[in-house]
Amino acid sequence: MGLVRRDTSPQVGKERSQAPAYDLLERHLNSPDPELRREAALELDGWDEAVPALLGRLDVESEPAVCDAILTTLVGHDIGPVAARLVGHLAGEDTGLRIAVADALAAMPESTLSLLPDLLVDPDHDVRIMTAMVLANMRHPEAESWLVAMVRGDAHPNVVTAAIDALLPSARAEHAPLLQEAMRRFPDDPFLRFVVETTVPRLAGTYR
Amino acid sequence: MTIPMVAGAGLSDLDFEKFREYFYKRTGIQFTAAKRYFVDRRIDACIQSSGHRNFGGWFAALRLGDRTDLLQDLINQLTVNETYFLREDYQFDSLLSEVLPRVLAGRGRPGRPAGPVKILSLPCSTGEEPYSIALRLLEEWDQIDHVDVEIHGADIDSAVLDRARLAVYGNRSLQRVPKPWLAKYFTRIDEDRYQLDGGIRDAVTLAQVNVCDTPAMRAVQDFDVIFCRNVLIYFDELSSRRAAENLYGALRAGGFLFLGHSESMSRISPIFTPVRLPEGLVYQRPTGAK
């Protein structure tokens, strides 16, 4: 017993000699074995023709780790049609998938930003709350201005609160009037009031 | 630790963009314009050592792929490796007191595991991390005489792996090593340098791998514990996600992942379960997952 050296397979650094064929990966994507599905989803990275299959699998997949692998591969396809299909999951029943999709959309800023005008007026306020979560995680210079627009204009207090929460890490003194106005618009919302009242004093002296 | 180095001067803007895109696709490492000066200097060094006369010829040969040494030389130039023994030691405390007992408990009666406990250090740079793990286990883990342990180290940089195999370290690298350990496990080879005992060097398996390379990482499997510290913060979001997926695939169900103290997996991927330990957070591959 003690430290042992093990050079027998499986080894670190020994690549598989041949990449699996596309047809095999697509079959594995629908295998009963979740680990096989997860691996196939990752290995389909770089195959443009796999996008419809990945999106289709995501519609029915129940294993979170497989969903995450599918989303990781899809994030590499930062194009409008992919983002548009993913946005559909923001209104889904599966909370874990909604959050995973929001994270994925945040990593696809080019296509996601083009969908924002529609997302910000989505009739489902839960979708608008998820949109605030997308913007919270997005590393893009335009994300902040979209959050400001949500705080200023959304009619639902929970959406405004979510947008304020997303804005807080980058909020500065110049945002104080925006937050105070939000509080005035929703005087009966105690949580929003609490957030604004605890935040505004901390913003003093923080300018861009 | 091997991390991208800030970089350079001498390329046209177009050449820099072409290079940046190529290097990102091959390694997952992204250089911003702010790192331009340092990148250019190191590319110049690669061009000179390759025998090519200018960027165009060198870059064409690089992309052609016939000379794999060109890419490796580039990776070695554009990564920086600075670490020392027993760095962020509290995580090794956590390994011994909290994580390894859970690993053994999860595999049957303590002291009678189904197979060796497997620990991976990725990136391992010049070997300080995997060798630190070996020293802590040998000196301080009360189960070491009852359990087989495999320690693996991996890095994208072949030059640092060569240095790890040689295991010769200076005073700066060894400053946190207790003197009795230094006397017991190292041989002084000159005034400022010591070489690690051959038995420990031989016990640690070293290999070259890129954590963002999914096909290569498929061969990295069944680890109980992975240390991947202070590297994900240098990747963009897509590369971080991919690295997280690959680390997930490299762990056994219930296996544990240590990140650097300033890194958070929750921003990168929701597939791990954060576990709060007295010494800090560690991330676990869910036991319910296959």
Examine the domain organization and report whether B145 and B16 are in the same domain. no
Which conformational region is residue B51 in: left (phi greater than 0), alpha (psi within -120 to 50 degrees), or beta? left
Q: Return the sign of the alpha-carbon dihedral for residues A131, A102, B273, A65.
A: positive
Of A39, A75, A103, the CB nearest to B270: A103
Is B241 in contact with A107 (Cβ distance < 8 A)?
A: yes
What domain count does chain B have?
Answer: 2
The model scores a pTM over 0.80: no
pLDDT at B268: 73
Examine the domain organization and report whether B40 and B170 are in the same domain. no
- pLDDT band per the 50, 70, 90 thresholds, residue B37: confident
By the CB < 8 Å criterion, does A106 face chain B? yes
The residues, any chain, with a CB within 8 Å of residue A142's CB and separated by 6 or more, are A109, A113
CB A58 within 8 A of CB A70: yes
Q: Please give the Cα distance from B70 to B67 (Å, whole number).
A: 6
pLDDT at B78: 80
Examine the domain organization and report whether B148 and B255 are in the same domain. yes
- Chain A neighbors of B118, CB-CB under 8 A: 6
Give domain status of residue B141, yes or no. Answer: yes
Of all residues in chain B, the one with the smallest CA distance to A69 is: B245
- Chain A neighbors of B152, CB-CB under 8 A: 12
pLDDT at B114: 72
Residue type, B103: V
Of A1, A65, A75, the CB nearest to B241: A75
Q: Please give the Cα distance from B59 to B18 (Å, whole number).
A: 9
**In terms of DSSP H, where are the helices of A107-188?**
109-119, 125-137, 143-153, 157-167, 176-185
Give domain status of residue B6, yes or no. Answer: yes
Give domain status of residue B99, yes or no. Answer: yes
- Chain B neighbors of A69, CB-CB under 8 A: 245
CB pairs under 8 A between A and B: 117
Give domain status of residue B68, yes or no. Answer: yes
Examine the domain organization and report whether B76 and B45 are in the same domain. yes
By the CB < 8 Å criterion, does A72 face chain B? yes
Is B205 in contact with A7 (Cβ distance < 8 A)?
A: yes
Is A3 in contact with B221 (Cβ distance < 8 A)?
A: no
Examine the domain organization and report whether B52 and B143 are in the same domain. no
What is the total residue count of chain B?
Answer: 290
CB B284 within 8 A of CB B254: yes
Give domain status of residue B289, yes or no. Answer: no
Give the structural domain span for B194.
90-284
Q: How far is Cα of residue B154 from the mean position of the Cα atoms in its chain?
A: 6
Give domain status of residue B77, yes or no. Answer: yes
Mean pLDDT of chain B: 86
Average pLDDT over residues B121-145: 95
CATH (domain of B121): 3.40.50.150
Domain end marker among B81, B116, B137? B81
The residues, any chain, with a CB within 8 Å of residue A3's CB and separated by 6 or more, are B134, B137, B138, B144, B149, B150, B151, B200, B203, B204
Examine the domain organization and report whether B29 and B147 are in the same domain. no
Peptide bond into B178 cis (omega under 30): no
CATH (domain of B44): 1.10.155
Q: What is the CA radius of gyration of chain B?
A: 20
Q: Is the ipTM beyond the 0.85 threshold?
A: no
Examine the domain organization and report whether B205 and B244 are in the same domain. yes
Lowest mean pLDDT among A16-20, B163-167, B278-282: A16-20
- Chain B neighbors of A137, CB-CB under 8 A: 267
pLDDT at A9: 42
Examine the domain organization and report whether B118 and B43 are in the same domain. no
Examine the domain organization and report whether B94 and B75 are in the same domain. no
Cα–Cα distance list, A158 to A96, A119, A203, A206, B237 (Å): 20, 15, 22, 26, 28
Give domain status of residue B109, yes or no. Answer: yes
Of A13, A16, A71, the CB nearest to B207: A13
Domain end marker among B57, B81, B105? B81
- Chain A neighbors of B267, CB-CB under 8 A: 137
Of all residues in chain B, the one with the smallest CA distance to A18 is: B215
pLDDT at B21: 84
pLDDT at A206: 60
- pLDDT band per the 50, 70, 90 thresholds, residue B95: very high
Is A107 in contact with B238 (Cβ distance < 8 A)?
A: yes
Is B248 in contact with A65 (Cβ distance < 8 A)?
A: yes
Is B145 in contact with A33 (Cβ distance < 8 A)?
A: no
- Bridge partners of B121? B153, B227
Examine the domain organization and report whether B57 and B94 are in the same domain. no
Q: How far is Cα of residue B55 from the mean position of the Cα atoms in its chain?
A: 30
Examine the domain organization and report whether B123 and B265 are in the same domain. yes
Domain end marker among B81, B116, B136? B81
pLDDT at B29: 77
CB B152 within 8 A of CB B228: no
**Residues of chain A by 3-state class (helix, strand, coil), percent to 5:** 70, 0, 30
Helix (H, G, I), strand (E, B) or coil at B123: coil
Average pLDDT over residues A109-128: 94
Examine the domain organization and report whether B25 and B133 are in the same domain. no
The residues, any chain, with a CB within 8 Å of residue A114's CB and separated by 6 or more, are A80, A83
